[in-house]
């Protein structure tokens, strides 16, 4: 429960309560704050992503030496968040004292140049806000299911209690959302259930490789480092954003220029090269009836705004390189070529299978490049795409989208409604108009990625719950509201829709992402991520039966089947051996709810380039990679290809 003092502070600040008043969250001096009470202690959480190491040290000193309006017990810094515990009692924890403490704390953060608007995962500016692992913060939706950069990694937990204080438990628990979000006193706009992680529990995050091991791996390419950067610069200089199709250029002229640069590098290295009609191409070495591959792409997303430099000029700053494509996917492509060159130059290496680096030119706009490759070329018997993350990804859930359509009745209370920007995002806002009064209403939520809906607050669900109560009090009805509350409510697993299921790859997640209501019909568009052993056709039959009870028509729009390679399969076990031997870890393969380039060809899985603990800054302004991480990836790719090729 939340203490009366904290509840009073939350109400005065316009904060929200969640998990049946287990914790509150809101803004304070533009910083996102989460707070909870346990016994006589109140814990405050906020993101300090982006904080400089020297300022991190100053912050710890300040916490330990400053006299505050509240009695601090201890603090902890981890995963870009700081958690501070303080006494919550009649004499040390009034709402006024809490407010004074938060004022001092946030002012200190500003003094230390902590930007309150940075993504809690990658540390770059972000407009969206969400509950990430139960903590309110700024975030990029694309970062939600990715490893980030931990700016607090070097900060130890400290005990700042006075010697005569009674013993208190030292552990600070990072909250995860549970059931039943309720409004703070005086608020009626936001009420939403928050589920925890999947029933089986979130898997432990992958271990972060030791920096010394990364450096040692990169050193294996020390003799090629300068040439590697020259080749990467040449490739990044091409603005290979997919363009309108032309004769001989199915994805635009710039993608062909990038392909030509790739071929120039590969030919210089002594590889056979093949152009597949300017849809795709490859570089190849070795002999044998079978072939293994690294599958990359040379097309990029537009640079967009916010760059501190020319996005097509590779900038080397210390150990970091910045340009569009260094992460996604030109850097890993060059790393794959250098990995293959090392194998070619190894006199002791006599592979049983040929090795290819395959490049596509249309990954960012649908992977039609690989459709063409499959139609005209040999399929690898095993391989990986360095367009994902480390370690190996053995399972990607299925991704499907369907519509629920219901004809409107004269007696329905809602005249119109609109919500959502994209079906793969948790909608953050909904606007609607009631019939009789013409009253316009808006409800707010918190945006998140559709694969992790429990990290957001769905504005449609908020609105339907509130309207159900309001309409009942006024003796009015709306058939769509009734259907939504009965079939979806605040669920994330699709239980009431007949879609819930779980296996080793995780559980079903359901995201009602788009809603349109007019005088003729209500159309709700839903995105689901389903486990690899999920029987979709059986689920469709269950869904239809549930929908028929509310006169809802089901229309399946799209389905991307799951991708699965058993953890003990030759491909996954081989890649994990290469990764663990290189990093000195004992990591396990990953299952994810998103989709990667691995789906574009059979016998392929995601493998790199992002190491655990690193931010994924693909598609963002000032896209960058650490040079050592690119070269360490090359060393791991080399050993993976060596093992796969026999």
pLDDT value of position 134: 82
Q: Does pLDDT of 169 surpass 60?
A: no
The single residue listed with the structure tokens 């972060």 is 208
Least confident segment among 250-264, 352-366, 411-425: 411-425
> For this structure, is 482 an active site residue?
no
pLDDT in tens, 30-80: 999 999 887 668 899 999 999 988 888 899 889 988 888 788 888 888 889
Flag whether pLDDT at 185 surpasses 50: no
The one-character DSSP state at 90 is S
Give the pLDDT score at 154.
56
Confidence of residue 8 (pLDDT cuts 50, 70, 90): confident
DSSP per-residue string spanning 545-599: HHHHTTTPEEEEEEEE--EE--TTSHHHHHHHHHHHHHHT-----EEESS--GGG
CB of 540 closer than 8 Å to CB of 570: no
342 or 166, which is more confident? 342
CA dihedral 319, 322, 327, 328 (to 10 degrees): -170
Burial 274-298 (b: 16+ CB within 10 A, else e): eebebbbbbbbbbeeebbbbbbbbb
Return the number of other C-beta atoms located less than 10 Å from residue 567's C-beta: 15
Predicted TM-score (pTM) of the model is 0.65
The active-site residue, picked from 74, 299, 377, 614, is 299
Question: Mean of the pLDDT values across residues 387-407?
Answer: 95
What is the average pLDDT value for the chain, to the nearest integer?
A: 87
**Architecture of the domain made up of 398-561:** 2-Layer Sandwich (3.30)
Give the number of other CB atoms < 10 A from CB of residue 580.
17
Cα angle 480, 482, 487 (rounded to 5 degrees) comes to 95
- What is the rounded average pLDDT of the residues 305-328? 93
pLDDT of residue 21: 64
Note the pLDDT tens digit of each residue in 441-485: 999 887 777 888 887 889 999 999 999 999 999 999 999 999 999
pLDDT band of residue 1 (cuts 50, 70, 90) is low
- For residue 132, whether the previous peptide bond is cis, meaning omega lies within 30 degrees of 0, is no
Q: Which residue has the higher pLDDT, 289 or 122?
A: 289
Mean pLDDT of the region 76-103: 79
Number of alpha carbons in the 13 Å side-chain half-sphere of residue 449: 17
Class of the CATH-defined domain 4-159? alpha beta
Catalytic residue among 115, 329, 363, 500: 363
Which of these ranges, 94-98, 178-182, 239-243, 373-377, has the smallest mean pLDDT?
A: 178-182
pLDDT at 183: 32
Q: Assess whether pLDDT exceeds 80 at residue 175.
A: no
Q: What is the pLDDT of residue 17?
A: 76
93 pLDDT above the threshold of 70: no
* CATH number, domain 220-381+608-645, options 3.10.290.10, 3.30.230.10, 3.90.1150.10, 3.40.630.10: 3.40.630.10
Q: Using the predicted structure, report yes or no on whether residue 182 has a pLDDT greater than 80.
A: no
Query: What pLDDT, on the 0 to 100 scale, is given for residue 181?
Result: 33
> Could you tell me the pLDDT band of residue 178, with boundaries at 50, 70 and 90?
very low
What pLDDT band is residue 197 in, cutting at 50, 70 and 90?
Answer: very low
pLDDT of residue 204: 60
542-551: b or e for each residue (b if 16 or more CB lie within 10 Å)? Answer: ebeebbeeee
Domain locations along the chain: 4-159, 220-381+608-645, 398-561
pLDDT for 566-599, tens place per residue? 999 999 999 999 999 999 999 999 998 878 899 9
Confidence of residue 301 (pLDDT cuts 50, 70, 90): confident
Active site residue 299: yes
Contacts 24+ apart (CB under 8 A), 99-102: 99/9, 99/12, 99/13, 100/69, 101/44, 101/68, 101/69, 101/70, 102/28, 102/29, 102/33, 102/44
Confidence at residue 39, expressed as pLDDT on a 0 to 100 scale: 67
Q: Is the pLDDT of residue 348 over 80?
A: yes
Show the tokens assigned to 208.
């972060």
Q: Would you tell me the crossing angle of helices 4-13 and 95-111 to the nearest 10 degrees?
A: 60
Average pLDDT over residues 550-574: 95
Confidence at residue 186, expressed as pLDDT on a 0 to 100 scale: 30
Q: How confident is the model at residue 106 (pLDDT cuts 50, 70, 90)?
A: very high
pLDDT of residue 87: 76
With pLDDT > 70 as the criterion, what percentage of the chain qualifies? 90
Position 90 pLDDT exceeds 70? no
pLDDT in the model for residue 184: 31
CA distance linking residue 284 with residue 433, whole number of Å: 61
Question: In this predicted structure, what is the pLDDT of residue 304?
Answer: 79
Q: Is the pLDDT of residue 190 over 60?
A: no
More reliable by pLDDT, 22 or 192: 22
């Amino acid at each position: 429960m939340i203490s009366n003092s904290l509840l009073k502070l939350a109400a005065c600040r316009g904060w929200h309560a969640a998990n049946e008043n287990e914790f509150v969250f809101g803004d304070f001096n533009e910083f996102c704050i989460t707070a909870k009470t346990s016994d006589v202690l109140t814990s405050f959480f906020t993101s300090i992503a982006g904080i400089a190491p020297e300022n991190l040290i100053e912050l710890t000193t300040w916490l330990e030496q400053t006299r505050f309006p509240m009695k601090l017990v201890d603090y902890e810094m981890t995963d870009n968040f700081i958690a501070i515990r303080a006494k919550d009692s009649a004499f040390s924890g009034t709402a006024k004292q809490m407010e004074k403490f938060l004022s001092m704390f946030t002012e200190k953060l500003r003094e230390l140049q902590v930007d309150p608007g940075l993504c809690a995962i990658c540390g770059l500016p972000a407009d969206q806000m969400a509950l990430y692992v139960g903590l309110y913060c700024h975030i990029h939706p694309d970062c939600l299911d990715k490893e980030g950069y931990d700016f607090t990694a070097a900060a130890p937990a400290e005990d700042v209690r006075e010697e005569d204080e009674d013993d208190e438990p030292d552990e600070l628990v990072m909250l995860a959302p549970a059931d039943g979000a309720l409004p703070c006193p005086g608020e009626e706009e936001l009420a939403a259930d928050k589920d925890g992680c999947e029933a089986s529990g979130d898997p432990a995050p992958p271990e972060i490789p030791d920096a010394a091991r990364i450096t040692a791996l990169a050193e294996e390419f020390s003799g090629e480092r300068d040439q590697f950067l020259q080749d990467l610069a040449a490739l990044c200089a091409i603005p290979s954003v997919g363009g309108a199709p032309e004769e001989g250029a199915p994805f635009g002229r710039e993608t062909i220029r990038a392909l030509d640069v790739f071929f120039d590098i590969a030919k210089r290295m002594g590889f056979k090269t093949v152009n597949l009609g300017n849809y795709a191409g490859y570089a190849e070495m070795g002999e044998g009836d079978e072939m293994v591959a690294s599958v990359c792409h040379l097309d990029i997303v537009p640079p967009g705004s916010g760059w501190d430099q020319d996005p097509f000029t590779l900038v080397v700053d210390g150990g970091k390189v910045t340009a569009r494509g260094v992460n996604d996917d030109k850097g890993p492509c060059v790393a794959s070529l250098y990995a293959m060159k090392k194998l070619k130059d190894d006199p002791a290496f006599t592979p049983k299978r040929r090795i290819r680096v395959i490049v596509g030119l249309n990954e960012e706009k649908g992977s039609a490049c690989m459709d063409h490759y499959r139609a005209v070329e040999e399929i690898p018997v095993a391989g990986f795409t360095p367009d994902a993350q480390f370690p190996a990804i053995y399972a990607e859930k299925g991704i499907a989208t369907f519509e629920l359509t219901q004809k409107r009745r004269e007696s329905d209370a809602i005249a119109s409604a609109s919500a959502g920007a994209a079906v793969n995002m948790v909608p953050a806002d909904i606007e609607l108009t009631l019939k009789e009064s013409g009253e316009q209403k808006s409800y707010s939520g918190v945006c998140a990625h559709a694969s992790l809906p429990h990290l957001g607050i769905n504005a449609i669900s908020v609105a339907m719950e509130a309207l159900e109560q309001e309409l009942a009090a006024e003796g009015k009805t709306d058939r769509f509201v009734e259907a939504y509350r009965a079939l979806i409510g605040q669920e994330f697993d699709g239980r009431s829709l007949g879609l819930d299921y779980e296996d080793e790859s995780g559980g079903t997640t359901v995201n009602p992402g788009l809603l349109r209501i007019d005088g003729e019909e209500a159309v709700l568009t839903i995105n689901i991520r389903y486990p690899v052993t999920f029987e979709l056709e059986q689920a469709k039959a269950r869904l239809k039966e549930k929908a028929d009870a509310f006169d809802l028509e089901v229309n399946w729009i799209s389905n991307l089947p799951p991708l699965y390679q058993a953890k003990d399969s030759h491909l996954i076990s081989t890649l994990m051996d290469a990764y663990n031997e290189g990093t000195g870890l004992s990591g396990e393969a990953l299952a994810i709810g998103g989709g990667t380039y691995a789906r574009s060809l059979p016998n392929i899985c995601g493998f790199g380039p992002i190491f655990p603990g690193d931010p994924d800054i693909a598609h963002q302004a000032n896209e960058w990679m650490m040079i050592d991480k690119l070269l360490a990836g090359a060393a791991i790719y080399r050993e993976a290809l060596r093992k796969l090729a026999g």
